Amino acid sequence: MTTSRRPRGLVPAALSVLVAGLLALHAAVPNTVGRLGSLLETFLPWLGLAVPPLLGAAGLRRSALALLASALAAAAWLGLFAGVLAPPADQPYDLTVVQHNVDDENPDPTGTVRALTAVSPDLIALEEVTDQAVAAYAAALAPAYPHAAVRGTVGLWSRFPLTDVRVVDIRPPAIVDGWSRGMRATVRLPQGDVAVYVAHLPSLRLGWTGFGSERRDDSAVKLGAALAAEPQQRLLLLGDLNGTVDDRGLEPVLARLSSDRSDFAFSWPAQAPLARIDQVLARAATVTRVWALPRTGSDHLPVAARIRF
C-alpha cells in the first residue's frame, strides 16, 4: 500500500498567493463590513514586508511551488510600487509647494515655519491653524509670503497674489457644530492663474467595528463635487485628506486629480510614518515629485511637492 506525499511548501505557497491576491485585487476586497477595503488600501505598501520571509520559507522548504508563488507576490508588489525603488528623476518644474497639518497643539509654530520654508516653497498650505496660533504663523511667514488667507482652521500662504478667496463647505452631515476645514483661492502665478484648494477631511477611527471612515468619505464626496464645479482648468489640492491615494474612500477626489507615486512620502504618524495621508494633487498640471520633510512639532510630517504646468 502506498501513500501520496503532500507537495512541499504548501503553507508558504498559499500565503504567497494570498499576498499576491490582496495586492493585485485589493479593489475587490469589500468595504461593506468595517470598510476593510479602505483599511487594506491605506497600508497596502506594507504587504511587501511579507515577501522576503515567504521567499526564505520557499528556499528552506526547497519547494518550487512556494518559490513560484512568492515570486508572484513579489511581482504583484513591484507592479504597484516599483517606481519608489528608482532614484528620483530630476524633472523640470514651475512651482514648489508644501502641505502640512501643523497640529492644534504644536508648541513651536516659529520652528515649524523654519522647517517648512527650508525648501523655499512658493505656496504653503496649513491645517489645524487655531485662533491662538494663527498670529504666530502669520508673523513668521509674512516676510517671504506676503499674500495669505485663513478660513476656519485652514490657511494658504503665497509668494504670489491671491484673489477670489472663499470657504468651501466640506462638512459631513454627521457634524453639526461649527466646523470649517475647506477653502479655495485663485493664485496669480507668472504662468497664469491656478485655483488652489486647501482641505482637511475628518479623521479616521480604527476600532473593533473596523475602519471608521464614514465622515471622511462623506466629506470627500462634498470636496469632489466642489472640484468638479471649479471653472478654473488648472487646479491644485493641498490637504490632510486622512487617506492615501489607494484608498477608495477618496475616489470622489482622486477620480478628478492626480499625484506623484515615485516616493512613498509617508507623513503620518510623525514618530513612525506608516502612510501618506497628506496629499498634493493636481488637475491640468503634473506633480513631478512628492517627498516628506523633517519632523516639526506636529504629529504629521510636512510634505513638499513640485508642480509642472
- Confidence (pTM): 0.94
**Residue with grid cell 513640485, as numbered in its chain:** 306
Better pLDDT: 127 or 208: 127
Helix or strand holding residue 194 (H, E): strand 192-200
**pLDDT tens-digit profile of 79-109?**
999 999 888 778 899 999 999 999 999 999 9
Confidence of residue 114 (pLDDT cuts 50, 70, 90): very high
pLDDT of residue 82: 93
Task: Please state, in angstroms and as integers, the Cα–Cα distance from residue 94 to each residue in 21, 257, 282, 286, following that order.
Answer: 40, 18, 13, 10
Beta bridge partners of 283: 235
Neighbours of 60 (CB within 10 A): 12
Q: Please report the pLDDT score of residue 136 as a whole number.
A: 97
115 to 98, 156, 209, 298: CA distances (angstroms): 10, 16, 38, 11
pLDDT at 9: 86
pLDDT band at 176 (very low <50, low <70, confident <90, very high): confident
Percentage of residues in the chain having pLDDT higher than 90:
89
Residue 306 DSSP label = E
Could you read off the pLDDT of 232-271 as tens digits, one per residue?
A: 999 999 999 999 999 999 999 999 999 999 999 999 999 9
Cβ burial 249-258 (10 Å sphere, 16+ → b, else e): bbebbbebbe
**For the chain, how are helix, strand and coil distributed in percent, rounded to 5?**
35, 25, 40
For the segment 169-181, the average pLDDT, to the nearest whole number, is 92
Evaluate if residue 206 carries a pLDDT over 90.
Answer: no
Checking if the pLDDT of 1 tops 70, the result is no
Q: Do residues 296 and 110 touch, judged by C-beta distance below 8 A?
A: no
Residues 205, 212: Cα–Cα separation, whole Å: 5
What pLDDT was estimated at residue 3? 54
- DSSP symbols for 216-227: HHHHHHHHHHHH
Q: Which domains does the chain have, with CATH numbers?
A: 10-85 (no CATH), 95-308 (3.60.10.10)
* Ramachandran bin of 265, using left for φ above 0, alpha for ψ from -120 to 50, beta for the remaining angles: left
Write down the pLDDT at residue 178. 84
170 DSSP assignment: -
Give, as one character, the DSSP assignment of residue 244. Answer: -
